[in-house]
Chain A
Amino acid sequence: MKNKTKKGLLPIFLGILLLACAALLTAHNVRADRSAQESVRTVLEQMDSVPTTQRNTAVLPALPAYMQYPEMEMPVRVIDGREYIGVIELPSLSLTLPVLSELTAVNLTVSPCRYVGSAYLDNLVIAAHNYTSHFARLRDLAYGDTVIFTDVDGNVFTYEVAQIEMLAPTQVNEMTDGDWPLSLFTCTYGGGARVTVRCEKTEN
């Protein structure tokens, strides 16, 4: 009798175990996604209105500092111990996200990060996780869609989507060596490639 009742129990147990793992993984990912969404909301609240570019009291209008010295370091604003270089907006996706100055594994769980470059030198590359609250919908951008980056000094850089491509994880040079003023990327669903959006500058 015992052998009869045990037949088939092992595969059922294994099947339940696998389903439980799937459920745990899904719960973990959903939790990470929601945590990232909450982080972004908190940071954006603290960023509030970015100060407008300070102008001196001289008669002649002053150029922003980055126009005179484009190689200057992008200024940062420290929020909750992390350094942010600005905010990126994707109006067609109804998305507004802060951008951290440095890309690390931990920082990526909080908000998009600068991978390399500077908005002042027209070679900025921003990476983010494919959370639904971050860059999951990056591939939904269309050619000509507007992308706006605002630095912490209030300088606004406006771009439009010019190219969407897939890069392999090993194509590091292809990601950074192009003449694109702004590039955004995130992993594909399976993690095997990087969805990369290239943007041309329209106006400052």
Chain B
Amino acid sequence: MMKLYKPLCFLFCFLLCISCCLCASAAQIETEKTVDLSLRFAPHDTPAVGVQYRLYRIADVSQDVRFSYVSPYSSYPIAPVGNTTDQWRNLARTLQGFIASDGIAADHTAVTDSNGSFRTDGLPTGLYLLTGDPITIDKTVYTPQPFLLCLPVQAGDTWTYDVHIDAKYDEYPADTERTVQILKVWQDQNSPQRPIQATVALYGDGKLYETVVLDKNNNWKHTWKNLSAMTVWTVNEVDVPEGYIVSVGQEHGLFGVVNSVPSDDEGSTNEPSTIPDDEPTTTPTEEPTTEPDGEPELPNTGLLWWPVPVLVFGGLVFIVAGITRRRGKQDEE
């Protein structure tokens, strides 16, 4: 039995290593392969014909799903590619703003056919931003939502290099003018380095519409009304403050331009990323927006009433004592 012990152990370890290698290779991306992408844009199953889409290759992706921004995106003050749906959604909006402000040309363009679809073959692997133009169908404007897409797409433990996706969209009545509001949000623990103002720009179809200054006087927000529903509106912050990164989120007509201070862990792409699923998540901070001045005591919020009865009592005592003393003297006399 002892003679078989060592060979059995060796065989067990060998099989274990083989299975680990198989598992690892099954989860890894073959970066040398190309990806074929098909997208369908059909609101309520009605094909959106003739819609132009633009693809921007934002980042390289490694075999173990690590994203590295490519130029010019690597120079922008943005967070690394996150792991949640909200983070990917906000990153898409943020990049859309930078693309508009810097006039970055798309790496690929495509137009939907009579089925509302387009197909692009031979795309290099990587992280892509996809944007599309709005279209009016039956008095409703449908605007494709910008989104990030990792090519290839993960399907369970494998990767798909022939990708088929359906576009998500926003919809507005065609005869309704849009209202866009920008809100500046600071996530910096009330840092003393926070600037007293910030400049943001609104772009319509990639063209500058207006630049506004946000500060405490306007409660860090601005509203534009009577805007065209057929225009793709994007927002970008002009000159992100030193030491901050920016993230732009959009929910309906509200653009939130969030400046935060990157933690020591951010900026690193050494950890493999997780492709988020479709479940949205929100992570509001729990930190208060204001802090006390650091006084050792709670503020005094009381009127000075306690001396009143003391003074009254003392005064009466003295008066009675004085009167008593005078009467006593008179009695003696």
Question: Which residues of A does B touch, CB under 8 Å?
Answer: 4, 7-22, 25-26, 29, 32-33, 54, 56-60, 62-63, 65, 68-76, 103, 105, 108, 114-118, 120-121, 123, 127-131, 135, 167, 169-172, 175-176, 185-191, 194
The complex places the Cα of A189 from the Cα of B314 at a distance, in Å, of 19
Whether B251 and A117, one on each chain, are in contact in the complex, defined by CB atoms closer than 8 angstroms, is: no
Contact code string B287-328 (vs A, CB < 8 Å = 1, else 0):
111111001111111111111110110111111111111100
* Residue from the list B183, B220, B306, B315 in contact with A15, Cβ < 8 A: B315
* Residue from the list A19, A33, A69 in contact with B256, Cβ < 8 A: A69
Q: Does B219 contact A (CB under 8 A)?
A: yes
A-B contact count (CB 8 A): 221
* Residue from the list A69, A73, A185 in contact with B219, Cβ < 8 A: A73
Whether B302 and A191, one on each chain, are in contact in the complex, defined by CB atoms closer than 8 angstroms, is: yes
The complex places the Cα of A18 from the Cα of B311 at a distance, in Å, of 5
Instruction: Give B250's nearest chain A residue, CB to CB.
Output: A68
Closest chain B CB from A111 CB (angstroms): 12
Complex interface: chain B residues within 8 A of A9 (CB): 322, 326
Q: Does B55 contact A (CB under 8 A)?
A: no
Instruction: Give A20's nearest chain B residue, CB to CB.
Output: B315
Instruction: Give A25's nearest chain B residue, CB to CB.
Output: B308
Complex interface: chain B residues within 8 A of A22 (CB): 307-309, 311-312, 315
Closest chain B CB from A174 CB (angstroms): 9
Closest chain B CB from A53 CB (angstroms): 11
The complex places the Cα of A20 from the Cα of B178 at a distance, in Å, of 68
Whether B301 and A185, one on each chain, are in contact in the complex, defined by CB atoms closer than 8 angstroms, is: yes
Complex interface: chain A residues within 8 A of B319 (CB): 11-12, 15-16, 19
Whether A69 and B185, one on each chain, are in contact in the complex, defined by CB atoms closer than 8 angstroms, is: yes
The complex places the Cα of A14 from the Cα of B322 at a distance, in Å, of 9
Whether A186 and B254, one on each chain, are in contact in the complex, defined by CB atoms closer than 8 angstroms, is: no
Complex interface: chain B residues within 8 A of A175 (CB): 298
* Residue from the list A59, A71, A170 in contact with B185, Cβ < 8 A: A71
Whether A18 and B171, one on each chain, are in contact in the complex, defined by CB atoms closer than 8 angstroms, is: no
Q: Does B69 contact A (CB under 8 A)?
A: no
Complex interface: chain A residues within 8 A of B221 (CB): 65, 75
Q: List 30 A-B contacts (CB under 8 A).
A: A11-B321, A11-B325, A14-B322, A15-B318, A19-B316, A21-B315, A22-B308, A25-B307, A54-B223, A56-B253, A58-B176, A58-B179, A63-B254, A69-B183, A69-B256, A71-B289, A73-B186, A73-B219, A75-B221, A108-B299, A108-B301, A117-B288, A118-B289, A123-B288, A127-B298, A172-B295, A172-B296, A175-B298, A186-B302, A191-B306
Whether A12 and B322, one on each chain, are in contact in the complex, defined by CB atoms closer than 8 angstroms, is: yes
Do A58 and B285 form a contact, CB below 8 Å, given A4-B329, A65-B221? no
Whether A121 and B289, one on each chain, are in contact in the complex, defined by CB atoms closer than 8 angstroms, is: yes
Closest chain B CB from A28 CB (angstroms): 8
* Residue from the list A8, A29, A33 in contact with B324, Cβ < 8 A: A8
Complex interface: chain A residues within 8 A of B304 (CB): 25, 29, 191
Complex interface: chain B residues within 8 A of A169 (CB): 297-298, 300
The complex places the Cα of A128 from the Cα of B302 at a distance, in Å, of 8
* Residue from the list B251, B305, B318 in contact with A14, Cβ < 8 A: B318
Identify the 10 closest CB pairs spanning chains A and B, nearest first.
A187-B302, A15-B318, A18-B315, A12-B322, A15-B319, A56-B253, A11-B322, A8-B326, A22-B311, A8-B325
Q: Does B181 contact A (CB under 8 A)?
A: yes
Complex interface: chain B residues within 8 A of A187 (CB): 300-302
Whether A73 and B289, one on each chain, are in contact in the complex, defined by CB atoms closer than 8 angstroms, is: yes
Do A69 and B258 form a contact, CB below 8 Å, given A22-B307, A170-B296? yes
Whether B323 and A62, one on each chain, are in contact in the complex, defined by CB atoms closer than 8 angstroms, is: no
Complex interface: chain B residues within 8 A of A115 (CB): 292, 299
Complex interface: chain A residues within 8 A of B207 (CB): none
Complex interface: chain B residues within 8 A of A69 (CB): 183, 185, 249, 256, 258, 284
Complex interface: chain B residues within 8 A of A12 (CB): 318-319, 322-323, 326
Complex interface: chain A residues within 8 A of B223 (CB): 54
* Residue from the list B301, B311, B323 in contact with A129, Cβ < 8 A: B301
Contact code string B166-178 (vs A, CB < 8 Å = 1, else 0):
0000111100111
The complex places the Cα of A140 from the Cα of B307 at a distance, in Å, of 24
Whether B292 and A68, one on each chain, are in contact in the complex, defined by CB atoms closer than 8 angstroms, is: no
